[in-house]
Amino acid sequence: MGKGSRLPARRGFADAPHSIALRIGDDRVSTSPEATEAARHDFSPVPGLPGRVFSRDPEGVIRPATAQEAADTVGVCFEERTRVVARGSATGGLGGVVPVRGGVVVDLIGLTGVKDIDRQGATATVGAGAIWDDVIGDLGREGLAPLAYPSSSSGSTVGGWVSSGGYGAGTLRHGNFHAHIKVLQVGLPSGFLVDATGGGGRYSIPSFAGTEGQIGVVTSATFSVKPAPEKRATYLIRLSRFEDGIHLYLKLAALESPPNSVDLLSRNAASEFGAGWDSPCLMVTAEGDAPEVERLADALKELLVGSGLEIDASFEARELHKTRLSALKDGCEDRPFYSGSVLIGTDGLDRLVSNIVNLRTGDSGPAFECRAVDRGKNLVTAGFKAGGGGLSPMRAFALARGMVATGVAMGGVPYGVGIWNSPYIDVILGGRKKGLRRIKSEVDRLRIMNPGKFFSMTTRSGLPVPGWVLRAYLGVAGRS
């Protein structure tokens, strides 16, 4: 089947939600306008014309209670020729869980909990719908901890992070989270559950990690864990100017034994995350045995000698780090927040930051941050808040997408795909694209899984949209 092709006609008169209800139970299926409207968008509603062109109410929302129910749901959708979109807590902002072509949304938030711990193999198996903060707490009570977790751990799910980028807290020390996955349990269009392992082949981890539900629905993940750290600390350094912190940020990221995370936040980002913060800041987290954390503190103090800067290691600093996603999410209903992220090397960081600093956005300047996520790799995120007499939603959305386009022009790679980064899929996947397309055609031959994005961007009616068309439209909208 080519780009934008239609599914074969359904066989029979029963619609998919009804057939799914017969298979897994009425209480798992909702077709109310409230449920379908809520499932139409993710972290922020899609504004204006893009919202009308690239999203559609699903026929129903399915909330399986077990992995087998999730697989049965996908199997019924295949039988009924109905499109299916997997959804977690929808903390992304790229449209990865938005039903572009309708169908049903499979809400996995009920697949929670730590299912198994293998102490000898140092792994834990966790439901795809589990919130990361809950996982961290549950593992902590067992004396264990994940090697890495997302910066949005207060709201994002295990399956969501597995299916998307895999960079966050701890990846500076341990590398991308996808490398720590041992097994992914996945529901396929066939209706079967499979265990994906290894790095090659149709049912391997790379077929499902980072592919946003294009090939199957992740129902649980088994990943490496470590002994719970003896000590954790968060250090906050207030800065006069954002640019003043870049040198220190790079020095910390390049340490032989680096911190768990290093974040450089603009004034607007800091004020969004913590009430009363009115200056840019550098946020450093450390964890490990007590001597290790103390060595990092000493290294930080040494780097600050003669700078006039001071370290804040208070409880308030730790809370700012923990609750920053919640602070943004709480205000999204009245003042939606639109953001874009780019992975960029250290050599291009200064240019991209200078471009963001110089953006003309009126009184509502960008809230942006740099996070060191791996050796020589930085995740730069810029967000724009709409409403409240400031930016219009359409302009805020366009500015976020424009920042990504600028980052790509400077050699960066968009972080995540969804709808809005689909025009850059060749940059994002590189040599993986051909193999993934082949696997999708073999496993999902009717192309029911999360269509209208990722490999090719289409409108809700199935019309293919070239990347240059979207970029040109957003360029005009961003200047209006």
The answer for 470, left when phi > 0, alpha when psi is -120 to 50, beta otherwise, is alpha
Q: How confident is the model at residue 3 (pLDDT cuts 50, 70, 90)?
A: very low
Which helix (H) or strand (E) segment holds residue 280: the answer is none
* pLDDT, tens only, 411-462: 999 999 999 999 999 999 999 999 999 999 999 999 999 999 999 899 998 8
The 3-state DSSP class for residue 389 equals: coil
- 0.95 exceeded by the pTM? no
Q: What is the mean pLDDT of residues 83-87?
A: 96
Q: How confident is the model at residue 359 (pLDDT cuts 50, 70, 90)?
A: confident
User: pLDDT averaged over the chain?
Assistant: 88
Question: What are the extents of the domains in the chain?
Answer: 114-227, 231-414
* pLDDT, tens only, 88-142: 999 888 999 999 999 999 999 999 999 999 999 999 999 999 999 999 999 999 9
Environment class of residue 387 by beta-carbon count within 10 Å: exposed (0-12), middle (13-18) or buried (19+)?
A: middle
Q: What is the mean pLDDT of residues 186-191?
A: 96
Burial state string for 74-112 with b = 16 or more CB within 10 A and e = fewer than 16: bbbbbbbbbbbbbbbbbbbbbbbbbbbbbbbbbbbbebb
DSSP labels for 289-354? SHHHHHHHHHHHHHHHTTT----B-SHHHHHHHHSHHHHHHHTTTTS-EEEEEEEEEHHHHHHHHH
The set of long-range contacts for 303-311, using a CB threshold of 8 Å and a minimum separation of 24, is 303/248, 303/251, 303/252, 304/237, 304/248, 307/248, 309/237, 309/238, 309/239, 309/248, 310/237, 310/238, 311/235, 311/236, 311/237
CATH number of 231-414: 3.40.462.10
| Dihedral of the alpha carbons of 183, 187, 192, 196, in degrees to the nearest 10 | -20
Q: Which pLDDT value is given to residue 61?
A: 96
Environment class of residue 318 by beta-carbon count within 10 Å: exposed (0-12), middle (13-18) or buried (19+)?
A: middle
pLDDT of 85 higher than 80: yes
Give the closest residue to 228 by CA, choosing from 359, 157, 136. 136
Which helix (H) or strand (E) segment holds residue 115: the answer is strand 114-118
Q: Which pLDDT value is given to residue 369?
A: 92
Environment class of residue 351 by beta-carbon count within 10 Å: exposed (0-12), middle (13-18) or buried (19+)?
A: middle
Q: Which pLDDT value is given to residue 9?
A: 52
Q: Which pLDDT value is given to residue 360?
A: 66
CATH fold of 114-227? 3.30.465
Q: How confident is the model at residue 4 (pLDDT cuts 50, 70, 90)?
A: very low
